[in-house]
Every structure is written in structure tokens, then in C-alpha cells.
Amino acid sequence: MNKVNWKLVEAFYKDTFGIDPKFVDIMSYKDILLMCVSGASSKNISELLGIDTAVVANICLSILNFSGWETDLEFNPYAIFCELKNLAGVTQGKFEMEITAICGKVDKNIIKTSYRLCKVFNKLENDLERNWK
């Protein structure tokens, strides 16, 4: 969709439902972002959705400040994050312990990045839930 048409979509949601255009953007990218925080590589996301890898990277970078995974992760960070959040609360330490219990040794930078992405995406989901009416 070209920029002019997208601005019309944003204006429609703002005028009709009072939704901030930034939430319209985030909602349109939600599947891409969810796949990224769930550990899917940019290449696999692009193949699954039939869009260019550069588009996936740009969307992830603009919203998550992360250009995407080069390869699929062995685990689903967001599923682990949500499970911990629903049980007893999630901390980076608990998140790391759970990943280690599931996968064994995992690079600490991957765990740290995964945790940050999950926190950012979870906040976006909460913001969408509050503002998308």
C-alpha cells in the first residue's frame, strides 16, 4: 500500500474510532513482530508472509530496535516470557533459568536480547489492548 493510501487508513481509524495512528501502524505489523519475538528469523518471516526480508528487518528495527534474527531460535522466547508472567512474574533471571532448563546452554546475549524484545512487545500488546477499542 502506498503512503497516501496508508495515511487515509490511519485517518479513518483516528476519525472513526479515535485510535492514534501509531497504534494502527503497530497493529498492522503485529504478526511480524510476534514472529520475531517468538524466535523466527527474518528470512523465515519474509518467506511465510511473502514480503521482502528488508521490509521485515525495517519493521522490527523501527519498532523493536532490533533488525531480526539471522536464524530461527531453538526456543520460543515470547511463549516462555508469557508463561512466566502468568505464573509468578517474569524477571531476566527467571527467564534465563527457564531457557536453560529447556535448551541447555544458550548464548547469554541471545537470552538478554530475547528478554528485552519480549518486554518491548508485551508493552506494545498492553498498549494496544488499552487503546484499540
Q: Where are the domains of the chain?
A: 3-131
At 92, the amino acid letter reads: Q
Using a 10 angstrom Cβ sphere, with 0-12 exposed, 13-18 middle and 19 or more buried, the burial of residue 107 is exposed
With beta carbons less than 8 A apart as the criterion, state whether 64 and 117 touch. yes
At 93, the amino acid letter reads: G
With beta carbons less than 8 A apart as the criterion, state whether 22 and 10 touch. no
pLDDT of residue 6: 83
Tell me which H or E stretch contains 110. Answer: helix 108-131
Q: Which residues of the chain register pLDDT less than 50?
A: none
Other C-beta atoms lying within 10 Å of the C-beta of residue 49: 13
Terminal Cα-to-Cα distance of the chain (whole angstroms): 24
